[in-house]
Amino acid sequence: MSLRPAPTWWRAALACRCPRCGEGRLFAGLLTVRARCAACGLDLRAHDTGDGPAVLVIFVLASVVVGLAFVVEFRFSPPLWVHAVLWPVVTIPAAVLMMRPLKAALVALQFRYRASEMEGGDAP
C-alpha cells in the first residue's frame, strides 16, 4: 500500500477509484462494484449503496428533463414524435453518466464514515 494520503471522497467519486488509495478502479463493469481494490486490496463487498444513487438520479434528472421538455414544447411546438426521439436520447446517457460518480460517492462516504464497522476500515 502506498504512503500517500487517502484521496478526498469527492475526488475518489469523480474518478470512480478506490476510496482508500485512489488508484484502483472501483467498478468492474458499468455499475458493478469490484469485490476488492486491485491496488490496495480493500474489500469493497461490504459497501452497498442500495437504491440511493438511482433515486437521486431520478429526482434530479427527471426535474431537469421535464423542465426542458416544457420549454421545448411551449417554445417550438414540435410534433409528438420529436419528444419521443429526443428525450430518451438525452435521458439515458445522462442517467448513466450521473449514476457512476454518485454510486462511487456513496461507496467513498461509507468507507469514510462507517469504516469501523467494515473490514480494513482504516480511514483517516
Q: Encode pLDDT of 40-60 as tens digits.
A: 999 998 888 889 999 999 999
Cell of 102: 454518485
- Could you tell me the sign of the dihedral formed by the alpha carbons of 14, 19, 24, 30, in that order? negative
Any idea where the domains of the chain sit in the sequence?
Answer: 9-117
Q: What is the pTM of this model?
A: 0.78
Per-residue pLDDT of 9-47, as tens digits, reads: 999 999 999 999 999 999 999 889 999 999 999 999 888
Residue 41 Rama label (left phi>0; alpha psi -120 to 50; beta): left
Cα–Cα distance, 79 to 34 (Å, whole number) = 45
Average pLDDT over the chain, rounded to an integer = 89
- Give the N- to C-terminal CA distance of the chain in Å, as an integer: 15
Task: Indicate the SS3 state at residue 24.
Answer: coil
Alpha helices, DSSP H, located in the chain: 9-15, 52-76, 80-113
